[in-house]
Amino acid sequence: MRLHDLKPRPGAKHRRKRLGQGESSGHGKTSGRGGKGQTARSGSSIRIGFEGGQMPLIRRIPKRGFNNARFTTRYIPVNIVSLNVFDDGAQVNEVALRELGLVNGNGDGVKILGNGELTKKLIVSASAFSASAKTKIEAKGGKCEVVTRFKPVAAKG
């Protein structure tokens, strides 16, 4: 098989819909745009949720109750196999993980997960550890230090 023999699988490619090619084509006259009106015009687009000036459904329904999503703790996950890049006996914390690019983005801390195998003895400081990660780190003679972050609480009034 050579490069010039390659072709897409049958059914993977579709013909382009040719609009405005006469009534008998099935895509003539209004060219699949329905009747007249705002959506039939060129360049028209209506934002999601717009109901023609009627009060949209999302604004009609009452918003009550409590949602816990605002108060959840969002950890940035790091697998234990990623920690093998550190030297033996190294101190691993969130700052060191960010410098190596293993942790990106915003979160309430780092959680070490037990996916993979650890080959080095490390002193790991993180906000949380999974049970399997903790056993793997301690099996190699390392230490797990739980670091708590101060989470600011909004003042009342």
**Residue 137 contacts residue 119 (beta carbons within 8 Å):** no
Tell me the per-residue pLDDT of 23-37, one tens digit each, with 9 for 90 and over: 999 999 999 999 999
* Domain tally, the chain: 1
SS (H, E, C) 141-152: CCEEEECCCCCC
Give the list of residues 6+ apart from residue 74 with CB closer than 8 angstroms, or none. 107, 108
Tell me the per-residue pLDDT of 103-118, one tens digit each, with 9 for 90 and over: 999 999 999 999 999 9
The reported pTM is 0.58
Alpha carbon distances (Å) from 53 to 3, 43, 49, 57: 55, 19, 10, 11
CATH of the domain at 91: 3.100.10.10
Mean pLDDT, rounded, for 8-27 = 93
Show the domain range for 108: 73-146
Is residue 78 assigned to a domain? yes
